[in-house]
Amino acid sequence: MTVSRSVCCVFAFLLVWTIVGAICVSADNVPIAPVERDLFEPKIPPGIVLELREVPEVVHEVRPDVAFRMRLAPASTYPLSVVNGEASIAVQNNFWIGETEVTYELWYHVRRWALRNGYTFANAGQEGSHGNAGRAPSDRRYEPVTQISWRDSIVWCNALSEWLGYDPVYTYRDQIVRDATQTYACDNAVQEYRDGFRLPTADEWVMAHRYRDGEVWAPENYASGATDDWANENATQTVAWYVSNSGYRTHDVGQKHPNLLYLYDMSGNVSEWVYDQRRGPANYGGGFLDDAPALTVAMGLDTGAEPGDVGMDRGLRLARTSMLRRPTPDIRIPDVQLP
- For the chain, what is the mean pLDDT? 83
Specify the DSSP element, H or E, that contains 88. Answer: strand 88-91
> Rounded to whole angstroms, how far apart are CA atoms 318 and 320?
7
Q: Is the pTM of this model over 0.85?
A: no
The alpha carbons of the chain give a radius of gyration, in whole angstroms, of 21
Residue 12 has pLDDT above 80, yes or no: no
String of b and e for 134-164 (b: at least 16 CB within 10 Å)? eeebeebbbbbbbbbbbbbbbbbbbbbbbee
Residue 279 has pLDDT above 50, yes or no: yes
Q: What are phi and psi of 181, to 5 degrees?
A: -90, -10
Residue 84 has pLDDT above 80, yes or no: no
Span 125-131, mean pLDDT? 97
Percent of the chain past pLDDT 90, that is, above it, reads 66
- pLDDT range class, residue 3, cuts 50, 70, 90: very low
Q: What are phi and psi of 19, to 5 degrees?
A: -65, -40
> What pLDDT is attached to residue 299?
85
Span 235-252, mean pLDDT? 97
**Lowest model confidence (mean pLDDT) among 76-80, 287-291, 308-312:** 76-80
**Lowest model confidence (mean pLDDT) among 89-98, 192-201, 248-257, 322-331:** 322-331
Residues β-bridged to residue 191:
170
Q: Are 57 and 262 in contact (CB under 8 A)?
A: yes
Residues in the chain: 339
Q: What are phi and psi of 20, to 5 degrees?
A: -60, -45
Span 261-290, mean pLDDT? 93
- pLDDT range class, residue 109, cuts 50, 70, 90: very high
- pLDDT range class, residue 128, cuts 50, 70, 90: very high
> What pLDDT is attached to residue 82?
59
Span 41-66, mean pLDDT? 71
**Cα-based distances in Å from 210 to 10, 32, 55, 216, 267:** 44, 26, 15, 9, 11
Residue 336 has pLDDT above 50, yes or no: no
- Which residue segments constitute the domains of the chain, with CATH numbers given? 1-29+335-339 (no CATH), 38-321 (3.90.1580.10)
- pLDDT range class, residue 50, cuts 50, 70, 90: low
Residue 229 has pLDDT above 80, yes or no: yes
Tens digits of residue pLDDT in 178-221: 999 999 999 999 999 999 999 999 999 999 999 998 888 899 99
Q: What are phi and psi of 314, to 5 degrees?
A: -125, 130
Which residue would you say has higher pLDDT here, 271 or 31?
271
Long-range CB contacts (within 8 A, 24+) of 322-327:
322/27, 322/28, 322/72, 322/93, 322/94, 322/95, 322/96, 323/28, 323/195, 324/27, 324/28, 324/29, 324/94, 325/75, 325/93, 325/94, 326/27, 326/94, 327/72, 327/74, 327/75, 327/94, 327/214
Span 20-31, mean pLDDT? 38
Q: Are 254 and 39 in contact (CB under 8 A)?
A: yes
Pairing of strands 271-274, 314-316: parallel
Would you give the end-to-end CA distance of the chain in angstroms?
13
Q: Is 295 left (phi over 0), alpha (psi -120 to 50) or beta?
A: alpha
Residues β-bridged to residue 97:
71, 319
Query: CA 229, 231, 233: angle at the middle one, nearest 5?
Result: 100
Tens digits of residue pLDDT in 298-329: 887 877 789 999 999 999 999 999 875 434 33
Range of 1-5, 14-18, 251-255, 334-338 with top mean pLDDT: 251-255
Tens digits of residue pLDDT in 134-175: 999 999 999 999 999 999 999 999 999 999 999 999 999 999
Percent of the chain past pLDDT 70, that is, above it, reads 78
Nearest to 321 by CA among 66, 59, 90, 92: 92
**Residue 207 corresponds to which amino acid?**
M
Nearest to 272 by CA among 261, 286, 258, 291: 286
Span 77-90, mean pLDDT? 71
**Residue 18 corresponds to which amino acid?**
T
> Rounded to whole angstroms, how far apart are CA atoms 239 and 227?
10
- pLDDT range class, residue 51, cuts 50, 70, 90: low
**Cα-based distances in Å from 112 to 62, 124, 134, 149:** 12, 10, 10, 17
